[in-house]
Amino acid sequence: MREIMTKQKKETSMKRNNLIKKFFLYLILLIITAAMLIPFIWMLSASIKTDREVFQMTPFVLIPETPRWSNYVDIWTKIPFGTFVKNTVFLTIVVTALQLLTSSFAAYSFAKLEFKHKNVLFMAYIATIAMPWQVYMVPQFIMMRKMGLNDKLLAMICLQAFSAFGVFMMRQFYDGIPNELCEAARVDGMSEYKIYSHIMLPLSKPALSTLTIFTFVATWNDYLGPLIYLKSQEKKTIQLGLKMFIGQYSSQYGLIMAGSVLSLIPVLIVFICLQRYFVEGIASTGLKG
């Protein structure tokens, strides 16, 4: 009888300890979530305020008495925001499509084909991830200028069409696909191109979706690259366009926040559409080392 009571007390104590641990874990997660959401909430609030109300902290008003919804209209008329959106959409879609093609194609070669010095070439290519872009930024600019691509979207496309990170991620995923599947296809007479397009690509939707999200967000939010290569107003992207509201002596923060909110919408749409594959893609590309 004493053993049963002792066992019940231990189980009760363990349950209590587990509840306490879960409580503190959820509390920490809530604090982190709040810390991440506060800047976005402030941005949404500032997008419907005047410049004077944006930095009014005493008292802080989340929604002003007279919301300035005209900020979302003025953003399209005070600057050629439509042109900036068009340039950004074009650049992002083209770069994302090219990175998906080149990364998956190269990853298939490194994962499923045998050729001389394969591992050395792969490690040399992946090692470029550790090199900051600022190191070779100037040589790239000189090269693009000599090719006559300065102030052209084609310069950004050429520079961002290849991704060492994308190749690494896709190769990790392809390594998880049995080699016997490719061998059986070769025995049936399929070429390597058909194996890649008819077998590997359909199986790699999670990895492709994950790479799409990473590439789309990075290209859409890129500021330094367009700042270096794009000079004329009709070639600028959204990030450069928002800088036009920042003057030497004053800035139109309400319009900047309204433009920032509008620029977030495509990113949210892409993530919502592909989020069902996102976690699966991260898990499947990170298991093998």
Q: Which of 69, 133, 76, 59 lies closest to 259 in space, CA to CA?
A: 76
- Is 54 inside any structural domain? no
pLDDT value of residue 116: 87
Phi, psi of 232, deg, nearest 5? -75, 150
**106 shares its domain with 160:** yes
Q: Which of 122, 119, 111 lies closest to 177 in space, CA to CA?
A: 111
How far is Cα 278 from Cα 283, in angstroms, rounded to an integer? 9
How far is Cα 170 from Cα 285, in angstroms, rounded to an integer? 7
CA separation, residue 213 to residues 4, 99, 278, 281 (Å): 55, 12, 8, 11
| Average pLDDT score over residue span 23-35 | 92
- Is 247 inside any structural domain? yes
Helix axes 81-112, 118-126, angle to 10 degrees: 150
**191 shares its domain with 263:** yes
* pLDDT-based confidence at residue 281 (cuts at 50, 70, 90): low
126's tokens: 């992946």
pLDDT value of residue 218: 93
Q: Is the link from the previous residue into 59 a cis peptide, with omega within 30 of 0?
A: yes
CATH at 225: 1.10.3720.10
- Please give the residue range of the domain that contains residue 159: 71-286
Query: Token match 């191109």: residue?
Result: 193
Cβ–Cβ contacts within 10 Å for residue 145, how many?
13
Sorted by sequence, the CB contacts under 8 Å of residue 174 that are 6+ apart come out as 107, 108, 111, 112, 200, 204
- Is 60 inside any structural domain? no
pLDDT value of residue 285: 52
The b/e string for 256-279 (b: 16+ C-beta within 10 A; e otherwise) is: bbbbbbbbeebeeebeeebeebbe
**230 shares its domain with 282:** yes
Task: Provide long-range contacts, Cβ within 8 A and 24+ apart, for 211-215.
Answer: 211/99, 211/100, 211/103, 211/163, 211/166, 211/169, 211/170, 211/281, 212/96, 212/100, 212/270, 212/274, 213/270, 213/271, 213/274, 213/278, 214/165, 214/166, 215/95, 215/96, 215/99, 215/100, 215/163, 215/166
Query: Token match 């074009």: residue?
Result: 90
**26 shares its domain with 75:** no
213's tokens: 């999200």
**39 shares its domain with 146:** no
Percent above pLDDT 90 for the chain: 34
Q: What is the pLDDT of residues 129-138, one digit of tens each?
A: 888 888 888 8
- Is 137 inside any structural domain? yes
Total number of domains in the chain: 2
**96 shares its domain with 209:** yes
Q: Which of 170, 140, 142 lies closest to 158 in space, CA to CA?
A: 140
Q: What is the pLDDT of residues 204-259, one digit of tens each?
A: 888 898 899 999 999 999 998 899 999 898 999 999 998 888 875 567 888 899 99
**166 shares its domain with 262:** yes
Q: What is the pLDDT of residues 111-147, one digit of tens each?
A: 888 888 888 999 999 888 888 888 888 888 999 989 9
**174 shares its domain with 128:** yes
How far is Cα 119 from Cα 240, in angstroms, rounded to an integer? 40
**164 shares its domain with 38:** no
